[in-house]
Amino acid sequence: MRFSMMVTYVGVILIAMTLLSIYILGILSDSFYNTEKMKLFAKANIISGLITDTNNINDDIKDSINKTLTGSDVRCIVAQKDLRARFDSNSDSDIVGKVVVREAINECLSINAEASAITEGANNFKMLSVAVPHTRSGKTTGVVYLVESISKEDSSVGAIRRNLIIFALIIVVLVAILSVGLSVMITAPIDNFISVSKEISKGNFNVKAKEKGATELVEMAKALNYMSKELDDFEQNRKKFVSDVSHELKTPLATIKLICDSIVSTDIPDTEMTQEFLGDLSDEVDRLTRLVERLLTLTKMDANQKTAELTQVDFVVMLNAIIRKLTPNSEQKNIVLFSDFGDVALEPMMLDYDKIWEAIYNITDNAIKYTPEGGYVRVGLALNGQVVTVSIEDNGPGIPDSEKDHIFERFYRLDDSRARDTGGTGLGLAIAKEAVMLHGGDISIRDAKDGGSIFDINLPYVRENREVL
């Protein structure tokens, strides 16, 4: 990985330097050529102004042209419109009187404007040529053609090209050296992250990423270690869930068995009693189905995906039904389970019947389980403005202050051994809190005057359909 990263760095820098060199060379070449071309156009226009008639170039005009070209290697040819040369600054040439065919001359006469061209000369030297029309009385009578070698400019560009190549090679070497250092600083921690991730994927949550290096790498290591801890906690909860879920299912299963035993133990059950038992049996099967679904929903660990299906519910009727369902459980322990809301009148509320039933049922059932024989459990109801409060009070051992912030956590139990004896799973209160919060309410706990606990379930008193936030 380190080698591949180094090769990548070097390759990227090499490509970047190549493109940059091409761009710089292009700009410099154009600048050199354009500067020289402007000089030639200026001289060509001066020479064109010296000539009065391209057909008659006397010695004075020739001297003036030569003076204009003094100190340069520029060659000047003056031709008529029919392309016959009338003057050539190169005294060794015999072109005068002959037809001159040059790219710049042809273009100049065809467009009747200044023209230029770059061509290959002898020994592969580049030649820059310009041509300007010679006009008199608004008519083009000939052309002034100048040409020179631009080998000096090419040499300058070549020197710059060599320097850029040397500079690029130095940069590439430096980048290669820096890449090795970066591979140690960056890829080494990343290799450690990959190794830790593989161990986590195998279920080994004891490995930890090294929290050192750049700030971003430290944050990444912390995030990886936090994920490992969360996965470890989730795995522990999953294992605990497998053992606890059977206990959570005991309540409905025990009720079903009790109903079945009651029917079997009766010699000749009458029709009304049988229908009542079968009705209760059907209700418990439905409750069992809903409970399994809720337990499976809890494993998703994502409260944001849950929604409340609101219907109009007679809250008082629902509370009485819950008390009736739990009365056999309380009687088995010689516990008095009673309601304390005879004078409270409520209109039907918008609730998710199953979720609120489960919440109140779980808390009341817990109160019965943890209240000693001969005790009591009171279910109260009050309307405070736009808030309906259900109070479930017991005179059991109570809950220590240090535990009150944890009892609503999933799978949390005050006493594992006692919880197993009573069938507790650590899920009931978590389900209850989730259901109440889904309705926009809350659950609080306080100490009762007789040493027990009071759970207050506060729900918004909504009497028309609206979305629960």
pLDDT by position in tens, the chain (length 469): 555 666 776 677 778 777 877 787 778 777 878 888 899 999 999 998 888 888 888 888 899 988 998 888 899 999 998 899 999 998 888 888 899 988 899 999 999 899 999 887 666 778 889 999 998 888 888 999 999 988 777 777 778 778 877 887 887 788 777 777 776 677 777 778 888 888 888 888 888 888 876 677 788 888 888 888 888 887 777 776 666 666 667 767 887 888 888 878 877 777 887 888 888 888 878 777 766 766 675 654 344 445 678 889 999 999 999 999 999 999 999 999 998 887 788 899 899 888 899 889 989 998 998 888 989 999 999 998 899 999 999 998 888 888 887 787 765 666 544 444 444 445 678 878 888 888 889 999 998 887 889 999 999 998 875 544 4
Q: Which of 263, 251, 199, 253 is nearest to 227 (CA)?
A: 199
- Whether 129 and 117 have beta carbons less than 8 Å apart is answered as yes
CA atoms 5, 11, 15, 18: torsion sign: positive
The overall pTM is greater than 0.85: no
CB hemisphere CA count around 75 (13 angstroms): 14
**Residue 278: predicted pLDDT:** 83
Which residue type, as a one-letter code, is found at position 169? L
Which residue type, as a one-letter code, is found at position 86? R
- Whether 85 and 77 have beta carbons less than 8 Å apart is answered as yes
- List the beta bridge partners of residue 133: 143
- Whether 25 and 202 have beta carbons less than 8 Å apart is answered as no
Q: Which of 379, 393, 392, 319 is nearest to 349 (CA)?
A: 319
**Residue 301: predicted pLDDT:** 38
**Residue 6: predicted pLDDT:** 62
Q: Cα(378)–Cα(340) distance, rounded to whole angstroms? A: 7
